[in-house]
Amino acid sequence: MDPTTGRLAGQGLIESSLEDPVAVTRRLLAVQAQDLRGARLAVRARLAPSVTDPGASMVDRALDDRSLVVGWLNRGTLHLVPAEDYRWLAALTSPRLFTSNRTRLKQEGVSPGQAEKAVQIIRKTLADGPATRAELKAILERADIPVAGQAMMHILYLASLRGHILRGPMVGKEQAFVLTDDWLGKPEPVDVEKALAELARRYLASHGPATDRDLAKWAGINLGQARKGLEAISPELVQEGGMVDLAARDRPRGPAPVRLLGNFDPILHGWESREWIIPGERERTVVTVNGLFRPTIFDGRRVTGVWRLASGEIELHPFGDQPAKVTAALEKEIEAVRNYLAR
């Protein structure tokens, strides 16, 4: 099997049997979720055809019942993960993020003492139940904590890195913050070596074939840690053209259906290079000047354009002419995506 087919199969984009948001997220392990609509669309694209009348509210219900949570993980970005995987992923990926967090807090005018006070206020507030970012911001403002600009985000980031808070249930259209221990229960010790092995195994299940550098970049860990995780599961691996993959992984061969993928879709973030999925210089139109990722058109093999939702209408912007069968499939996709987001 060629690397592209293997990766798309691992991603759940070929012959998916994944029947709910938890199954999809468990397969992918971590889905970038600073834009929750993008995460909802990532789930949609990977649901099995047998799932009838899927809707974005499926993801919200999993957040409400504590099956899924969102926290700052991996590369220091918000990720949607299965609740049972949150703590060990945080244990592996949080330590490297403290330095940049301290730097950003200083740049935003938040002193170490103010940051400490803010974290304690947040913990005390959330002890009474979930609260939205706006509610927490108002409380910190009254306590004379700087919250303008990006200060509030980096204060919440610090509380998350320390393991105190995560994003849990939906409150209206916002995702509220909760105390981690209240939401997930008391933590158990994390065996780092076992966690690295699990990380390598789960990464390859959804991203293989890949290299140690691909794993390191995706998880936001150092190359030594990536290699240690892969070495721990070496009996389970096969070599494929300078890359490794799980020997026992299911290998459906496709074809993959045409999809409208959300912004920050997992296929854009799982490897050191995006050349395999966006050939040539096309990613320049996918990634904006400030580093945001646009929703993309996926023709079953490659990203072939971008799209946007404006005033309830989906506008397609392909890179070039699309084959007639892709154009026809996209017309159906537009309606399916619109219905999914409305449910």
User: pLDDT digits over 179-216, tens only?
Assistant: 999 999 999 999 999 999 999 999 999 999 999 999 99
What is the arithmetic mean of pLDDT over 239-243?
Answer: 90
Name the strand (E) or helix (H) holding 175: strand 174-179
Ranges of H-type helices in the chain:
3-10, 21-28, 36-45, 57-64, 83-93, 98-107, 112-126, 133-142, 151-161, 180-184, 192-207, 212-219, 223-232, 283-286, 324-342
Separation of alpha carbons 329 and 336, rounded Å:
11
Burial of 150 (0-12, 13-18, 19+ CB in 10 A): middle
pLDDT at 289: 72
- Say if CB 66 and CB 21 are below 8 A apart: no
Give the Cα separation of 332 and 62 in Å (integer). Answer: 27
What's the confidence (pLDDT) of residue 66?
Answer: 97
Confidence of residue 1 (pLDDT cuts 50, 70, 90): low
Instruction: Give the model confidence (pLDDT) of 55-110 as tens digits.
Output: 999 999 999 999 999 999 999 999 999 999 999 999 999 999 999 999 999 999 99
Residue-level pLDDT at 290: 80
Work out the average pLDDT over 24-40: 96
Lowest mean pLDDT among 134-143, 201-210, 218-227, 239-248: 239-248
d(CA 75, CA 325): 38
Give CA–CA dist 68/79, Å, rounded.
10
**Confidence at 291, pLDDT banded by 50, 70, 90:** confident
Tokens 């070496």 correspond to what residue?
234
pTM of the model: 0.94
Residue 248 confidence (pLDDT): 83
Is residue 251 pLDDT above 80, yes or no? Answer: no
When the pLDDT of each residue in the chain is averaged and rounded to a whole number, the result is: 94
pLDDT band at 217 (very low <50, low <70, confident <90, very high): very high
pLDDT of residue 285: 86
